[in-house]
Amino acid sequence: MASAISHPAVALAVGAVFTKEQLPRRFWLLGAACTLLPDIDVLGMLIGIRYSDMLGHRGITHSAAFAAVLALLFGLPMAARDRSVSKACLISYLFLCTASHGLLDALTDGGLGVAFFAPFSNSRYFLPWRPIPVSPFSPVDFFGPRGITILLRELQWAWLPSLGTALIARLIRHTLAHRRR
């Protein structure tokens, strides 16, 4: 996995680029949570589910199908209660936030690949370019020298591109709105 600190960075970029509407803060927080939820599968290891199983790590919870179900599960009731954002916008945003988790994991250099097409296939995939070192499960390793090296690499390949993308999207939107006036 990429670290739990870096996955939510993608929610920032997705929200800024994808949504035309200004999302309320609670939806940004939900989007950030959706970038983290796929790693709930590590709990399965505690009850003996193997990493390589469909229910194992980087299995079904990292798939496009899981992202779609989660987006509908959270998005439909929230959009019904809160009219400040459209249903399609919210569901698409949550889908992209959740799906971004698997894509970021597929950029890492360790572990097994990601089962993007589960439950239809448990084949695991990486992207052709894998610049991010895989984040350790152990807190000792995470806060040690190796963890610091990994965080710096994630800063370079997850945070900075996300922040840059969000700023450019905001700038373009602001410029277009200014011209319409």
The strand pairing partners of 108, in sequence order, are 132
Does position 39 interact with Zn ion (CB under 5 A)? The reply is yes
Regarding 60 and contact with Zn ion (CB under 5 A), the answer is no
Shortest Cβ 88–Zn ion spacing (Å): 27
User: Would you count residue 154 as binding Zn ion (CB under 5 A)?
Assistant: no
Q: Is 105 in the site for Zn ion (CB under 5 A)?
A: yes
Distance between CA atoms of residues 61 and 57, nearest Å: 8
105 vs 154, which CB is nearer to Zn ion? Answer: 105
DSSP 8-state symbol, 157: I
Residue of 1, 23, 67, 150 that binds Zn ion (CB under 5 A): 1
Instruction: Specify the stretch interacting with Zn ion by CB under 5 A; choose among 12-20, 105-113, 116-124, 129-137.
Output: 105-113
CB 110 within 8 A of CB 133: yes
Question: Minimum Å distance from CB 84 to Zn ion?
Answer: 31
Give CA–CA dist 66/119, Å, rounded: 9
State the DSSP string of 105-141. Answer: HTTBSSS--B-TTTTT----B--S---BPPPPSSHHH
CB of residue 76 vs Zn ion: minimum separation in angstroms? 25
Q: Write out the residues near Zn ion by the rule CB under 5 A.
A: 1, 39, 105
